[in-house]
Amino acid sequence: MNASIPQVSVAGAGEEITLVIGGNILSTNVQEVRQKVLDVLNQNETGNPLWKRLHLDLTAAQMIDSTGLNFLVAVTRHVKKRGIELKISVSSPNISKSFNFIRLNRQAEIVLIGS
């Protein structure tokens, strides 16, 4: 089961932080992903006064279920409350369509890469 938990890595410092989530976000792994992402967000809120933009790189994801979508909406609300801009990169047209369907594209910049 641990093999299904995607790696979460951090790149960048200063104004833009990039979180790379290396796989699908599903009900079976969302708790672990949530904890890793919240740890990074909380760390940057307290230790990085320059932080103004979060880039979620989800290009490795081919599937995000409803639990994963709820998690992303929660992340969006979290950063928006703090005045942080959000950019989400995806490579799956289906994920991009799902984001549009739930109107996440009104809260974040959605970038479809490779299509």
Residue 90 identity (one-letter amino acid): V
Range of the domain at 47: 2-112
Q: Which residues pair with 11 in a beta bridge?
A: 18
| Token digits of residue 78 | 């979290």
Angle at 114 between CA 111 and CA 115, to 5 degrees: 85
**pLDDT tens digits for 7-55?**
887 877 789 999 999 999 999 999 999 999 999 888 888 888 888 999 9
Looking at the structure of the chain, the number of domains it has is: 1
Q: Which residues pair with 85 in a beta bridge?
A: 53
Task: Please tell me the least confidently modeled range out of 39-53, 58-72, 99-113.
Answer: 39-53
Instruction: Measure Cα distances from 12 to 61, 65, 84, 104, 112 in Å.
Output: 21, 28, 15, 24, 21
| CATH code assigned at 46 | 3.30.750.24
pLDDT confidence band for 58 (50 / 70 / 90):
very high
